[in-house]
Amino acid sequence: VEWHEMMQQQSRFTEQASGRISAADLQELFGCVRVLYRVRDGAVQTMRAFSPHACRWLVAMFGSPMPGEAFAHGLAWNEFLTVIQYLKGAYAKYLTCDISRQGAVTTQDLWVALAACGIHMTQEVVDNIRKCYDTDSSGTFEFDEFIQLLVECQLYDHVFDARVAQPSTLTPLNRLNPLLGPTFAAVGSANGLVTLDKSAFFSMVFAVPRNL
């Protein structure tokens, strides 16, 4: 069903001069396509819509920046299909951590959920991430909250690993684009630049509560 609905939405991309849709368009599109849904007792349960912030993260992660863009502001059709596959895979892993089958992952299970998606951090770091995102102290993460958290973690994880592998270059958010210059690692080291391991880096970037 969802693939039929998706093909019906392809015209949204061709109607745009750039062939891309914005994060706002992506949020609206998610409301038109039943890509992710939960069935209980034979009935499809309502799921909370993705936030604009989560959609902007998805666009930055999977879109291709146009000239003059520091990061992607839109998605082409093939990039949108990649986003859908990513969400379906993440949702399957999310469900395995939803032990109670109530449509939410507890903060205690967040470490397991992130590890299932390839983010391996100490419990202390994951606890910092939990505090950063659980701003309402509900103790649970619905999928829209989890996907925003996951995308941000995966992008930072990619940027950190790329930086370690090639310390003389800057790394863009989009994982598919080549590394960008200029070089400055040697200059920083000469001036006593303080370095961080990955755990300290994650603790730092998630020290500020996120406004979902």
Closest alpha carbon to 38 in 84, 110, 101: 101
Closest alpha carbon to 62 in 43, 41, 86, 38: 86
Three-class DSSP category at 82: helix
pLDDT tens digit string along 33-78? 666 655 455 444 556 678 888 899 899 989 999 888 888 999 999 9
Separation of alpha carbons 10 and 182, rounded Å: 38
* Number of neighbours of residue 212 by Cβ within 10 angstroms: 16
**pLDDT confidence of residue 63:** 93
Q: Per DSSP, which regions of the chain are E strands?
A: 20-21, 38-40, 43-45, 75-76, 105-106, 140-141
Low-confidence ranges of the chain (pLDDT < 50): 1, 39, 42-44, 176-190
The alpha-carbon radius of gyration of the chain (Å, integer) is 19
**pLDDT confidence of residue 197:** 81
Closest alpha carbon to 91 in 109, 105, 80: 105
**pLDDT confidence of residue 188:** 47
Bond into 209 cis (ω within 30): no
Contact partners, residue 113, CB within 8 Å, separation at least 6 = 93, 94, 97, 105, 146
**pLDDT confidence of residue 59:** 93
**Which alpha helices (DSSP H) does 98-197 contain, by range?**
110-116, 123-133, 143-165, 185-190
Handedness of CA 72, 202, 116, 103 (dihedral sign): negative
Separation of alpha carbons 120 and 193, rounded Å: 26
